[in-house]
Amino acid sequence: MRSACLALTLGLAACGQQPDVVPTQSAAAEAKPVATGSAQVAMPEKPFQALGTEPFWAVEVLPGQLRYSDPENIAGTAFAATESREGSGLRYSGMLNGQPISLMVQPGTCSDGMSDTVYPWTAVLTKDGHRLQGCARKR
């Protein structure tokens, strides 16, 4: 089984494709799936933007701060934020109008659902106790 997985992996690599699974060291262990295409995507350098639809929101990520905007606050509100690594992604946390807010950005292709734009990162904004799905891109 291990040699079959290795042959499949080498065959896909020769064709320029990434395998859906990575063979493990132990033949008894299960192969673990990995995201294809997104594993090599580096995290964005600042400034970058995360955005979502329904409801519409945007967060500009700047050094040491975030700027949150929505249709009712187009200019946006800037506030201090900390950055921490979580797994393959980055979490930005701060306080907006006295309430905690966080933005989690991870590698992975993403669609905003309203255009043909494909973004290189996914985003989840947690604000006012709600989790809002979105995408992120270099600004």
20 and 59 housed in the same domain: no
64 and 115 housed in the same domain: yes
103 and 75 housed in the same domain: yes
DSSP 72-138: TEEEEEEEEEEEEEETTEEEEEEEETTEEEEEEEEEEEEE-SSSS-EEEEEEEEEETTEEEEEEEEE
pTM listed for this prediction: 0.69
Mean pLDDT of all residues belonging to the chain? 77
15 and 67 housed in the same domain: no
Print the domain residue range for 132: 48-138
User: What pLDDT, in 10s, does the model give residues 32-91?
Assistant: 223 334 444 577 788 999 999 989 999 999 999 999 999 999 999 999 999 999 999 999
17 and 71 housed in the same domain: no
Is residue 8 in a domain? yes
As a whole number of angstroms, the longest Cα–Cα distance in the chain is 59
56 and 105 housed in the same domain: yes
89 and 22 housed in the same domain: no
C-alpha distances in Å from residue 25, one per residue of 4, 6, 32: 13, 11, 11
Least confident of 18-27, 49-58, 72-81, 92-101: 18-27
C-alpha distances in Å from residue 69, one per residue of 41, 117, 124: 26, 20, 15
Amino acid at 138: K
29 and 52 housed in the same domain: no
SS3 7: helix
52 and 111 housed in the same domain: yes
How many independent structural domains does the chain possess?
2
Contact yes or no for 119/88 (Cβ under 8 A): no
Considering only CA atoms, give the Rg of the chain. 19
Is residue 95 in a domain? yes
Q: Tell me, rounded to whole angstroms, the distance of Cα 112 from its chain centroid.
A: 13
